[in-house]
Amino acid sequence: GRWRGWRSLAAELPEPHAALAGRALAVVTWRRTHRWCGACRTELADVPGETARRCPACGLTGFLPLSVAVLVAITRPGRAGGPDELLLVRHAYGPTELWALVAGFVEAGESLEAAAHREVAEEVGLAIGRPTYVDSQPWAMSGPGTLLAGFTATVTDPAAEPVVDPRELTEARWFPVDALPAELPPAYSISRWLIDAVAGPH
Ligand SMILES: [Zn+2]
């Protein structure tokens, strides 16, 4: 046997094995980083049969937390009868060479749809219509227990141009869906599924 990173496993393993590898990584990371009771500092013990840890002294029980993030494939109608256009962005951190989608974590007290509206407004300064849910994907690369929820949405003002938040993005640009750049997210990622959903596979 040999050690493998989750990214390469996710790219090669068929389901359900890729999802199982992601879950294993999430559980191991969560157990390593949740050793002690946050209320009374006693060492936590696993709860048999559940993804939970319980304090033997005060009974506090903690479950593996899920962090939910939303991704939004934003489109606008093409000009002069041309094909629709898709907004792609380059992030200031992570795989900076890829043209990706606007994305961000859901805040406490926020719905998925509200998070989609907020992230689009914050990252590229655009207003969108009601987001349409497409798909979801557990994602082991952004910390333990990350769940990505993917949406498509149309801008409310087709003439509006993106204004990037330089802390998050280096670039944002409209691309005709039949002329997307080559540097797209990998085929096993929900980002790519969403891009294919609006542009068709290519
Ligand atoms: Zn305790």
Statement to judge: residues 35 and 117 lie in one domain = no
Statement to judge: residues 34 and 76 lie in one domain = no
Statement to judge: residues 109 and 189 lie in one domain = yes
Q: Measured in angstroms, how far is the CA atom of residue 36 from the centroid of ligand 1?
A: 8
User: Over the stretch 56-98, which tens digit does the pLDDT of each residue have?
Assistant: 999 999 999 889 999 999 999 998 888 999 999 999 988 889 9
User: Which of 164, 114, 148 shows the shortest CA–CA distance to 22?
Assistant: 148
Confidence (pLDDT) at 34: 92
User: Over the stretch 136-153, which tens digit does the pLDDT of each residue have?
Assistant: 998 877 667 889 999 999
Q: Measured in angstroms, how far is the CA atom of residue 62 from the centroid of ligand 1?
A: 10
Q: How far apart are CA 202 and CA 189, in angstroms?
A: 15
Q: How far apart are CA 89 and CA 32, in angstroms?
A: 34
Confidence (pLDDT) at 159: 92
Statement to judge: residues 79 and 125 lie in one domain = yes
Q: Measured in angstroms, how far is the CA atom of residue 147 from the centroid of ligand 1?
A: 28
Q: How far apart are CA 73 and CA 119, in angstroms?
A: 12
Q: Measured in angstroms, how far is the CA atom of residue 8 from the centroid of ligand 1?
A: 39
Q: Measured in angstroms, how far is the CA atom of residue 138 from the centroid of ligand 1?
A: 30
The sign one gets for the Cα dihedral 119, 141, 139, 193 is: positive
Q: Measured in angstroms, how far is the CA atom of residue 56 from the centroid of ligand 1?
A: 7
Whole domain around residue 53: which residue ranges? 6-63
Domain count, the chain: 2
How many percent of the chain have pLDDT more than 90?
71
Among candidate residues 63, 86, 104, the one where a domain is terminated? 63
Q: Measured in angstroms, how far is the CA atom of residue 23 from the centroid of ligand 1?
A: 26
In a domain, 1, yes or no: no
Q: What is the mean pLDDT of residues 182-201?
A: 92
pLDDT tier at 19, thresholds 50, 70, 90:
confident
Statement to judge: residues 187 and 146 lie in one domain = yes
